[in-house]
Amino acid sequence: MVYDNIVLIGFMGSGKTSVGKVLARKLFKDFVDVDSVIEKEQNHSINEIFDNNGEEYFRSLEQKCIDELTKKKGQVIATGGGLPIHSSIPENSLVVYIDADFDVILKRLPDKERDKRPLLQDESRARSLFEERKDTYRELATFSVDANQTIPTFIHVIVDYILDKRVL
Ligand code: S3P
């Protein structure tokens, strides 16, 4: 099977954007980040969109955005942590789950990054959200990578998988 795009999924702060940028460079693909595209199009931050229009509105923007982006091929696409839960990822995408434990994610995430995420403000609610979502992430993934290892190590694992299986 040859896929059109690589779509990175995983919990908030698991490193989808940083990993996606490196992956795209290594594989000579374009990189796009759904949250950044939405912020640019709406001219508001994710926090502002949640505050002004609510989560449901944000979810509808995510679905539109991933549908629009996947009309093109040859990209690495980083998604927000809730996108695969609330929206459907178009078929023909190689879905990679960045599978890191909740505590590893929290440890890696600087306060500045935590502040940008409305659903990460209450730690115990975020932990429950993580528990609720993790099986779905695994089920949706074409490939799950153990992201508790160092970031360069697991980027290597993803690149090897893609090149070995000749899926792009
Ligand atoms: C969300 C994750 C965020 C962002 C929004 C909601 C979620 O993206 O889309 O704050 O529901 O998990 P990151 O996964 O990049 O933090």
When divided into structural domains, the chain yields a total of 1
CA of 117 to the centre of ligand 1 (A): 6
Range of the domain at 50: 5-165
Q: Is the pLDDT of residue 1 over 90?
A: no
Interatomic CA distance for residues 129 and 141, integer angstroms = 18
Distance 80 CA to ligand 1 centre (A): 4
Computed over every residue of the chain, the mean pLDDT equals: 96
Question: Is residue 120 within a helix (H) or strand (E), and if so which, with residue range?
Answer: none
pLDDT digits (tens, 9 = 90+) for 58-116: 999 999 999 999 999 999 999 999 999 999 999 999 999 999 999 999 999 999 999 99
Instruction: Provide the CATH number for the domain around residue 148.
Output: 3.40.50.300
pTM value? 0.97
Atom of ligand 1 nearest to the CA of 16: 15
Strand order across the 143-146 sheet: 30-33, 75-78, 5-9, 93-99, 143-146
Tens digits of residue pLDDT in 18-65: 999 999 999 999 999 999 999 999 999 999 999 999 999 999 999 999
Residues 6+ apart with CB under 8 A from 162: 6, 27, 94, 168
